[in-house]
Chain A
Amino acid sequence: MAVKWTKKDLLGLEGLSADEIGLILETADSFKEISQRPIKKVPTLRGQTVVLFFFEPSTRTRTSFELAAKRMSADIVNIQTNASSLTKGETLKDTAKNIEAMKVNIIIMRHSASGAPQLLAESVSPSIINAGDGSHEHPTQGLLDMFTIKEHKKKIAGLNVSIIGDIAHSRVARSNIWGLTKLGAKVTVCGPATLMPPEIEKLGVKVTYDIKEAIEGADVINMLRIQLERQGQSLFPSIREYAMKFGLDAEKMKYAKKDVLIMHPGPINRGVEITPEVADGPYSVILEQVTNGIAVRMAVLYLVSGVKERIE
């Protein structure tokens, strides 16, 4: 591919071209094999320091990034805190400046506030990788979802992808929408009207409140996690009603195509947005997504670290 990676940061998929997304997916493809070796380590990022700066609890994304960095021989530092405690004292920028002063190369950041990684990218010199900011973007999740789709379907363009659940609060949905539409997929979003952000159709997606419509004809169904705390915020009446109307179960799977892929960014609320027989069923690629996450994150670390350019 002719395209060259030029970006210091990965803040979201909105700012990437189709070629740049293609480059990441291609690079991930070559990294995937490393995790299948008996000795899962390459020296690519030796001597580089990667800081995992997590302001929100996360198990899988943090572990995935950490393993990706470790398998490339980077030195890792974990910082876990929460955003509200920080606002009372040191500001995010001050903390970031301190980390910068310790001469680190890459900061991987998860934050509950949309736009926080951008604030960091504008203030400090290390590369910033967004590991999820508020309801804004979660670019590596979007990329690993596309990587998984491409592995199975051999293409993205022309596919029907349905994203079902809490679209309003979902950074996964937004990154998927940006990435998939750039690569030519047709995206449908489905969820209760209370969890549908205004004017989302302007992003080039179809909106439906009828899960049957979202299932029929879909090549890929990506079920989003419903945050149980949303119950009681008048966003939906009850978990039970949500599961009945928007949960994916064996009954609703009758409408699905025979070769549909079922995806979920995790962690799963079994029996809420997806029933165990679907999550663990033959169409599910949920655990493959997790495996691919490491390859995609290795690719992103590799590209932003600019290692390639230095070797050439």
Chain B
Amino acid sequence: MDIILKGGHVVDPASNLDSESDVLIKGDKIAQVGKNIKANGAKTIDCKGKLVFPGLIDMHVHLRQPGREDEETFVTGSRAALKGGFTSVLCMANTSPVIDNKGVVEYIYAEASKTGLINIYPAAAVTKGLEGKELTEIGQMAEAGAKALSDDGKPVMNAEILRRALEYAKMFGLPVISHCEDTNLSKNGAMNEGFISTKLGLKGIPRASEVVMVMRDIELAELTGAKLHIAHVSAKESVEAVREAKKRKIKVTCETCPHYFTLTEEAVFGFNTKAKVNPPLRSKEDLAAVKKGLSDGTIDAISTDHAPHSIEEKDVEFDFAANGMIGLEFALSLANTELVKDKVLDWSGLIKKISANPAGILDLKGKGSLAEGSDADVTVFDPAAEWVVDEKRIESKSKNTPLVGRKMGGTVLVTIVGGKIKYENGKFE
């Protein structure tokens, strides 16, 4: 059945649209966007007073399938995505087995299609087993549909190997997503290095462990002319390095995550393992620099680095707790309160970073836009609704977030994927 979204405020930076319009969906495509569209027989969704976006795209999630289905599956991860307004995600390769060969890439697509809730695209590993030693069969994985290359979770410490990966990836137009961390500098680190790590007696991770690798990778991007994307930027100097690189016309893009513009290292007080993440939550100055990078265009994308972990991996001594937090269900609300209400970005600027730009970086055809003929992936958002994060109502299979109890601004009302309503007013299809 056709669907018409009536009277919402449509924000579609890809087609320069930021005004009240109707959106008509026919089949799995956007048929028309404009005022007073007549659509007899179409299912009508009243969007008056609400915002209508191209479906959000999260280019950095860990869905834990295959291997850790106790923490997340395509089904639970997809439901979390839908609740958060995401219609497409890029899942990272650090699964078990690692997405480092064509077979696993094909498995991801097969499982995703069986799940049938959102678009799930695999990132493929840069090196076999994420060991940083030998290149994977990048060509075959590209043919099978891998959308990016990343050893995320680990850096490629050997610069020569990353150089060759960048060069080789160029042939397939694939971006290399770099997890920037000098593991010699960050070894045994548990949180950001600074006064709070000193107070708590936890080993610090200096910002330099991220920054030196950002700088190294930028030079390698220049050397090779390949597409480099820096994952989860958290440090002030990393933002500055990317800003300089862009001035030098180097092909580099980067992302940050909601926790880096929402929380600081103070969240660790009391040895709160739910605030343990890599890169670690940083200082107020870093948070301000991340916001500045978002507003001036240095940071291209907002991804969640959704990282589900079981209770057993978090409810332990801080030093032994796993890194990461879930993020799919909270990203848009946090962006609303921390970025839009705070005038860091307007809606159009935000949607660029959380839909249009990720589609561009990953070259997802037909995504990230509501232009006629685009894939009918749409998110309807009520920026005024308020809710409180309640552990029992988290859709993700894992509940590891420091946000429980926090008041959130704005809620996703409807998420449409491929022309089908997958989530509406708290209910899944």
Q: Which residues of A contact B (CB under 8 A)?
A: 14, 83, 87, 91-93, 111-116, 118-119, 133-137, 171, 174, 197-200, 202-203
Contact = CB atoms under 8 A, between A and B. Distances in A.
Pick the most buried of B201, B203, B270, B320: most chain A CB atoms within 10 A of its CB: B201
A114 B317 CA distance: 8
A133 B316 CA distance: 14
Q: How large is the interface on B (under 10, 10 to 19, 20 to 34, 35 or more residues)?
A: 20 to 34
A113 B197 contact: no
A136 B200 contact: yes
A114 B318 contact: yes
Contact of B271 (A115, A174, A200): A115
B106 interface: no
21 contacts: A83-B317, A83-B320, A87-B316, A92-B316, A93-B316, A111-B317, A113-B320, A114-B318, A114-B319, A119-B271, A119-B318, A133-B201, A134-B202, A135-B203, A136-B200, A136-B201, A174-B199, A197-B198, A198-B204, A200-B198, A203-B199
Nearest to B271: A115
A135 B320 CA distance: 15
Nearest to B272: A115
A207 to B, nearest CB: 11
Q: Which 4 A-B pairs have the closest CB atoms?
A: A115-B271, A136-B201, A135-B201, A113-B317
A91 B198 contact: no
Contacts of B195: 198-199, 202
B391 interface: no
A113 B318 CA distance: 7
Question: What secondary structure prevails in chain A residues at the interface with B?
Answer: mixed
Given A91-B312, A133-B201, A198 B318 contact: no
Given A115-B317, A136-B201, 15 more contacts: A87-B320, A91-B315, A92-B316, A112-B319, A113-B319, A114-B201, A116-B317, A119-B271, A134-B202, A136-B200, A137-B201, A198-B194, A198-B198, A202-B198, A203-B199
Contacts of A199: 194-195, 198
Pick the most buried of B198, B315, B320: most chain A CB atoms within 10 A of its CB: B198
Contact of A114 (B194, B200, B316): B200
Interface in B297-333: 312, 315-320
A197 B200 contact: no
A83 B195 CA distance: 26
A112 B320 CA distance: 11
B193 interface: yes
B141 to A, nearest CB: 34
Contacts of B270: 118
Interface in B312-356: 312, 315-320
A119 B193 CA distance: 22
A186 B195 CA distance: 20
Contacts of B201: 114, 133-137, 171, 174
A87 B322 CA distance: 12
Nearest to A87: B320
A14 B320 CA distance: 23
A136 B199 CA distance: 7
A198 B320 contact: no
Interface in B260-314: 270-271, 312
Contact of A118 (B203, B271, B320): B271
A24 B327 CA distance: 45
Contacts of B318: 113-115, 119
A275 B201 CA distance: 28
A266 to B, nearest CB: 20
A230 to B, nearest CB: 13
A134 B317 CA distance: 11
Contacts of A87: 316, 320
A114 B273 CA distance: 12
Interface in B148-178: none
A198 B208 CA distance: 14
Pick the most buried of A14, A115, A134, A135: most chain B CB atoms within 10 A of its CB: A115
A115 B194 CA distance: 17
Contacts of B202: 114-115, 134-136
A174 B197 CA distance: 12
Contact of A119 (B203, B312, B317): B317
Contacts of A14: 199
A94 to B, nearest CB: 9
A134 B198 CA distance: 12
B192 to A, nearest CB: 10
Pick the most buried of B193, B200, B202, B204: most chain A CB atoms within 10 A of its CB: B200
Nearest to B315: A93
A198 B193 contact: yes
Pick the most buried of B199, B318, B319: most chain A CB atoms within 10 A of its CB: B199
Contacts of A174: 199, 201
A92 B198 contact: no
Pick the most buried of B194, B315, B318: most chain A CB atoms within 10 A of its CB: B318
B189 to A, nearest CB: 12
A198 B312 CA distance: 31
A199 B201 CA distance: 12
A134 B319 contact: yes
Nearest to B313: A91
A116 B316 CA distance: 8
A85 to B, nearest CB: 12
